[in-house]
Amino acid sequence: MATPMTADRFLAVLRDAGLDVHQVGDWRTHNRNSKGPWGPVHGVMIHHTVTRGTANTVALCRDGHATLPGPLCHGVIAKDGSVHLVGYGRTNHAGAGDDDVLRAVIAGKALPADNEANTDGNRHFYGFECVNLGDGQDPWPEAQLDAIAEAAAAICRHHGWTARAVIGHLEWQPGKIDPRGFSMDSLRARVTDLLGRTPGPQPRPPLPVRPVYQPYPGRGFFTAGTSSPVITAMGRRLVAERCGMYTVGPGPRWGEADRRSYAKWQRSLGYRGAAADGIPGPDSWARLKVPKP
């Protein structure tokens, strides 16, 4: 059992989860509270809209229609994952459902089959309408499924509920089929995963650092007496390639051990004769990939 959040807190909870939230008109005070109580709240109910397009769906869910006045939910979740708040308080989304289901939600237990419509759901559930035709063919983009799970998890986190507080309309009222196109068990698994994480957008892994290789310094660089950290880096690469012929080092000064090691590298690449004399050439150097010191 929980007291409903204030509208401002509801907005903050969704935004703190990293959701792209849009406020539609006077959503904070647009409700059906004159027709019955709002709260205590026990869970989050998910629906599909049987509509196309964000703008017309948001308008429909805000205003309702001749036989069902709006608002028809608290928020509309579009295909792109954006959340559009259209009402707050009692809304016409859940209708009458099964009291056994409500007891299971409150207890955090697995849901029984719904076979009665004897309990007011509009009083007890936050509701999200999700843009989809509900024909089993209209796709559910990953951005939309992520947003549904994030919104449900944010509310559960605030109230201290588990993912068992998240139900589909089809699990509440006999004869309903929404949401169609994904299973509620899969959605609850996503919510469970999110409840185990820090809320909000997760940091992206850093981009891999591309290695910087030493450009070929020219054949004349490799003469007796030349001393450079490039020669040390080259020697280490030769050792890594199992071509090192060093008894000590490698070190920064070009010497016979470097020449013999490099000749072994050239032979491993298929060079023979004068082409494997141990003096680096541009092709064998590029293939050795000596890191820039």
Q: What pLDDT is stored for residue 199 in this prediction?
A: 64
Mean pLDDT, residues 224-241: 95
Higher pLDDT, residue 208 or 246? 246
Q: How far apart are CA 273 and CA 116, in angstroms?
A: 90
142-183 pLDDT per residue, tens: 999 999 999 999 999 999 999 999 999 999 999 999 999 999
63-74 pLDDT per residue, tens: 999 999 999 999
Output the DSSP codes for the chain.
Answer: -BPPPPHHHHHHHHHHTT--EEE-TTGGG-S-GGGS----B-EEEEEE-S---HHHHHHHHHHEETTEESP--SEEE-TTS-EEE---SS-TTS-EE-HHHHHHHHHT-PPPPP----EESTTTEEEEEE----SS-S---HHHHHHHHHHHHHHHHHHT--GGGEEEGGGTSTT---S-SS-HHHHHHHHHHHHTS-SSPPPPPPPPPPP-BPPP--GGGSSTT-B-HHHHHHHHHHHHTT----SS---SB--HHHHHHHHHHHHHTT--GGGGSSS--HHHHHHH-PBP-
Q: What pLDDT is stored for residue 197 in this prediction?
A: 79
Q: If you search the block for the tokens 């009291």, which residue do you land on?
A: 99
User: Token pair of 225, please?
Assistant: 């007496």
Q: How far apart are CA 1 and CA 43, in angstroms?
A: 9
Q: What pLDDT is stored for residue 248 in this prediction?
A: 87
Arch. (CATH architecture) of 7-195? 3-Layer(aba) Sandwich (3.40)
Q: How far apart are CA 219 and CA 254, in angstroms?
A: 12
Q: What pLDDT is stored for residue 207 in this prediction?
A: 76
Which class is 219-288 in CATH? Answer: mainly alpha
Task: Output the pTM of the full model.
Answer: 0.70
Q: How far apart are CA 219 and CA 169, in angstroms?
A: 76
251-284 pLDDT per residue, tens: 999 999 999 999 999 999 999 999 999 999 999 9
**What residue ranges do the domains of the chain occupy?**
7-195, 219-288
Q: What pLDDT is stored for residue 200 in this prediction?
A: 60
